[in-house]
């Protein structure tokens, strides 16, 4: 099994040339996030990922998590690794200092997250949820709730979870049945939730569950959903822990991958005394929960990126070492390592190019997030928030789809050995497969992009983003002409879906997935072209810059050729979906 090596130079490259790190350090409150500081943080995060997290990834997969006497016991090494993260202040990175944070950019936080997800995806999903819980509470909690819970969430002393899904209410949250009955200054929660990541663990002294539920007189559907804070241990007014709440894990799911990440069935109020506290307004719980959900969706995109990078590293290492077959262009019949074979080289280039495109999308999205939170002008914050809203479903869905594809390609390069668990390649593929499903399936993300994000402003945010990309690619670039054509195609398909939606929303729904793929592919082309061009005189070695140019040329000759096909499917393919009778499936 290949160990993980943090791709520091590639990460710095994306931060410099795609996220525009220097400009992030000029945002109000982020002045100390200079490149020197950012790179020092990355180096330390790399050590933690390589030495602490990667070393327990495979053993955690073999051991898994276990439910013993009503308490989840995490895999060996998990406690030590988590304590190292808390002690190092890593959980507090993006939050303000007045609540115990370090006031660093979200862009840096997600770059660190890439290394953690790549080194140990089962472990790293837990901190992602705590980050989202802290952001939710900071935005929607009462002053008292913030005083009791927020700082300990920010510092990772306590963990957070997201409790949405029920057996009879998967993605359709309007069908959920968990109840919340008022009693004095709190509510009594009863019900059961499934698929709760890190619903229980032995890493933190308390777990703060954020639970969607209905009050007795709530209207039907999503308009009747409220949000409640349910601590595992009740918290006294002085912040000390009280008695255990009436909430418990009743089983752990047996999963394809992420074996060391405890996915729990959680039961609330088995004894009629599960105490929860309302967060935000009644019947507005889903709106409040979206703060945590959107935070998680961007981080799930990071999972797709991280697992793809890990699979690429392992496949490259194997291809360099595995000797089989001769070089067909040489008279020498001596066997060579398979990295010399054109088809293997093609697969490796595909993996590398897609990883770079994904990294650019994620880091650019994070940079827009920092701008939307930090700029002084409200109009500027709204402008960049429109980019964040647009890019969140794209980052989540496109990057996780590609994460699966890249991990699968890694198996293919290993050949039969990839199908054998001992090599570790199979684990990357197994672990990757959940990411397109959870935090809203990728079909839902595509539908959100095509039917909600496009329609709310007539596609203007897409046109604004394309204008931004055009402004950041030179006219002398070898990629300018094909990019201009791709931009025009994306604009045309956007106008088509905007015009079609009032007449036939189902047709837009049927075209949503190819539209998301088109969008992601075009954005990836811009990432690789812009990065290759803007890096010309920025201190990188000549060999590195030549490699970036070659990767961009590969992407344009292999992936960007799909743009025309996606456009044809968007225009014509939805009719084939609609016309087919369900009875004939």
Catalytic positions are 439
Is 289 buried (19+), middle (13-18) or exposed (0-12) by CB count in 10 A? Answer: buried
Instruction: Return d(Cα 525, Cα 360) in angstroms, integer.
Output: 10
Q: Please name which of 494, 475, 479 lies closest in space to residue 566, comparing C-alpha atoms.
A: 494
Q: Report the alpha-carbon distance of residue 509 to residue 213 in Å, rounded.
A: 29
> 3-class SS at 325?
coil
Q: What is the enclosing helix (H) or strand (E) of 197? A: strand 186-197
Tokens read off for 582 = 């369900």
- Contact of 6 with 49, CB cutoff 8 Å: yes
Those residues with Cβ within 8 angstroms of residue 427's Cβ, 6 or more apart along the chain or in another chain? 57, 58, 61, 257, 421
Between CA 353 and CA 531 the distance in angstroms is 12
Q: Which of 399, 370, 364 is nearest to 385 (CA)?
A: 370
Q: Is 30 exposed, middle or buried (0-12, 13-18, 19+ CB in 10 A)?
A: buried
Residue 241 and residue 280: Cα distance in Å, rounded?
24
Q: How far apart are CA 344 and CA 347, in angstroms?
A: 5
CA pair distance 100, 92, nearest whole angstrom: 7
Tokens of residue 480, six digits: 């300018």
Among 310, 408, 327, 361, CA closest to 526: 361
CA distance readout (Å), 22 to 33, 60, 367, 373, 461: 9, 39, 11, 17, 24
Q: Which of 60, 363, 301, 342 is nearest to 201 (CA)?
A: 60
Q: Are 325 and 341 in contact (CB under 8 A)?
A: yes
DSSP one-letter string for 108-172: HHHHHHHHHHHH-HHHHHHHHHHHHHHHHHHHH--HHHIIIIIHHHHTTSSEEEEE--BTTBSS-
CA dist., res. 435 & res. 400, Å (int): 6
CA–CA dist 68, 220 (Å, integer): 38
The 10 Å Cβ neighbour count of residue 334 is: 8
Torsion of CA 116, 118, 119, 120, to 10 degrees: 80
């Amino acid at each position: 099994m290949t160990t993980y090596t943090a791709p520091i130079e590639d990460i710095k490259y994306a931060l410099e040339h795609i996220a525009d790190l220097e400009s992030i350090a000029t945002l109000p409150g982020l002045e100390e996030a200079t490149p020197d500081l950012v790179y020092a943080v990355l180096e330390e995060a790399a050590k933690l990922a390589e030495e602490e997290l990667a070393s327990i990834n495979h053993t955690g997969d073999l051991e898994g998590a276990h439910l013993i006497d009503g308490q989840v016991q995490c895999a060996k090494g998990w406690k030590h690794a988590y304590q190292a993260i808390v002690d190092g202040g890593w959980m507090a990175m993006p939050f303000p200092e007045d609540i115990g944070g370090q006031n660093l950019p979200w862009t840096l936080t997600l770059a660190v997250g890439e290394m953690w997800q790549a080194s140990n995806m089962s472990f790293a999903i837990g901190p992602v949820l705590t980050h989202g819980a802290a952001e939710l509470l900071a935005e929607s909690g009462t002053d008292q709730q913030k005083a009791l819970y927020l700082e300990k969430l920010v510092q990772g002393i306590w963990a957070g979870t997201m409790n949405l899904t029920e057996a009879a209410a998967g993605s359709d949250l309007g069908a959920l049945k968990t109840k919340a009955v008022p009693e004095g200054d709190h509510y009594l929660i009863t019900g059961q939730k499934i698929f709760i990541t890190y619903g229980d663990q032995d890493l933190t002294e308390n777990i703060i569950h954020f639970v969607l539920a209905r009050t007795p007189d709530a209207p039907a559907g999503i308009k009747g959903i409220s949000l409640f804070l349910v601590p595992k241990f009740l918290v006294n007014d002085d912040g000390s822990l009280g008695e255990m709440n009436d909430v418990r894990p009743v089983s752990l799911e047996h999963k394809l991958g992420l074996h060391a990440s405890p996915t729990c069935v959680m039961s609330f109020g088995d004894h009629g005394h599960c105490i929860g506290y309302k967060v935000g307004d009644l019947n507005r719980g889903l709106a409040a929960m979206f703060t945590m959900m959107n935070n998680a969706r961007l981080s799930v995109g990071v999972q797709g990126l991280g697992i793809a990078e890990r699979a690429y590293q392992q496949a490259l290492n194997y291809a360099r070492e595995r000797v089989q077959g001769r070089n067909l262009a040489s008279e020498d019949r001596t066997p060579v390592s398979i990295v010399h074979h054109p088809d293997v080289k093609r697969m490796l280039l595909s993996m590398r190019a897609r990883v770079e495109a994904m990294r650019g999308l994620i880091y650019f999205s994070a940079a827009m997030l920092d701008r939307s939170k930090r700029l002084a002008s409200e109009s500027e914050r709204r402008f960049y928030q429109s980019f964040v809203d647009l890019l969140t479903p794209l980052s989540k869905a496109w990057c996780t789809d590609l994460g699966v594809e890249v991990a699968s390609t890694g198996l293919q390069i290993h050949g039969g050995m990839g199908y054998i668990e001992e090599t570790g390649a199979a684990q990357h593929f197994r672990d990757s497969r959940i990411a397109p499903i959870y935090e809203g399936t990728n079909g839902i993300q595509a539908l959100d992009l095509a039917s909600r994000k496009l329609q709310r402003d007539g596609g203007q945010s897409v046109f604004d983003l394309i204008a931004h990309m055009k402004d950041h690619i030179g006219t002398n670039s070898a990629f300018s002409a094909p990019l201009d054509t791709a931009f025009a195609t994306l604009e045309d398909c956007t106008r088509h879906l905007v015009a079609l939606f009032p007449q036939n929303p189902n047709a837009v729904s049927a075209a949503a997935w190819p539209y998301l793929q088109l969008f992601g592919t075009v954005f990836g082309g811009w990432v690789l072209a812009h990065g290759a061009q803007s890096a010309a005189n920025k201190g990188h070695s000549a060999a590195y810059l030549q490699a970036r140019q070659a990767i961009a040329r590969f992407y344009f000759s292999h992936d960007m050729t799909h743009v025309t096909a996606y456009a044809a499917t968007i225009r014509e393919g939805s009719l084939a979906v609609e016309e087919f009778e369900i009875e004939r499936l």
